[in-house]
Amino acid sequence: MATTAAPRRRDADATRARILKAAGAEFARHGFAGARGERIAQRARSSERMIYYYFGSKDGLFRAVLEQAYAQLRDAERSVQLDPDDPWNALEQFCRFVWRYYLEHPEFISLLNTENLYRARHLRRSARLGELVSPIAQMLSRMLAGGAAKGVFRDDIDETELYVAIASLGYFCLSNRHTLSAVLGRDVAAREALERYWAGALRMIAGYVRREPHAGAGALEALPAAIAEVDRL
């Protein structure tokens, strides 16, 4: 019995996994409301009935898809290795990891956009919400502390703000690639264009993080009063 149950269970898991994968692709491609159970069943080589059997409802399925998407990101983040002795290199690696992840996981961007349309309804109902918090925040935190200790990074940088800024600079272009490309008349997410853009973004981030060589205040004085004031907020 145990011997027959094992493969069975594994079949069940496999079916569940196939459905989850197919659902991820479908939700990413068509959004939540536009996703079709029929198409998911087909892609998963299963039946609509099985979707309800395993996930209970379309909302339940989408929640599972989101949880899986976040889990995959978290796993990828865990594999990132930043050199603690070379803060600049670590910063670059960090940025490149984030941007490359977005580039290589367009479904993730789409799923996030969809979930934001629903005001994070599914995410908030996730029992695994706590596990979703990114381990990368600590990584960034350590990196900033290391750079500050070495005197090359500013020591007053909010790690979350920096993370959001880095994410922003990678996300926007990819998320809006179709409208941007249509309006501008060229593919803004073509590999070459992207590399050039990332170079500028990296410079932007580096310039922001860098400890001003000749007294921080001095550099700020070069900025107009208005912006300097903003800095003090």
Partner DNA sequence: CATGAATGAGGTTTCATTCAT
Partner DNA sequence: GATGAATGAAACCTCATTCAT
Q: Which stretch binds DNA (CB under 7 A): 3-11, 65-73, 87-95, 141-149?
A: 3-11
Cβ distance to a second copy smaller for residue 68 or 176: 176
> Which of 75, 80, 99, 100 minimizes the C-alpha distance to 90?
80
Per-residue contact flags (x/-) with a second copy for residues 75 to 114, judged by CB under 8 A: -----------x-xx-xx-----------------x-xxx
Binding of DNA at residue 208 (CB under 7 A)? no
Q: How far is the CB of 65 from DNA (least distance, A)?
A: 13
Q: How far is the CB of 206 from DNA (least distance, A)?
A: 46
Residues 31, 37, 106, 216: which binds DNA (CB under 7 A)?
Answer: 37
Q: CB of 90 within 8 A of CB of 143? A: yes
- Site residues for DNA, window 42-71 (CB under 7 A)? 46-53, 56-59
Rg, Å, the chain Cα set: 22
Q: Residue 83 — left, alpha, or beta (φ > 0 → left; ψ -120 to 50 → alpha)?
A: beta
The first and second tokens of residue 181, run together, are 């490309």
Q: Cα–Cα distances in Å, from 80 out to 29, 70, 83, 99, 127?
A: 28, 16, 10, 13, 26
Binding of a second copy at residue 152 (CB under 8 A)? yes
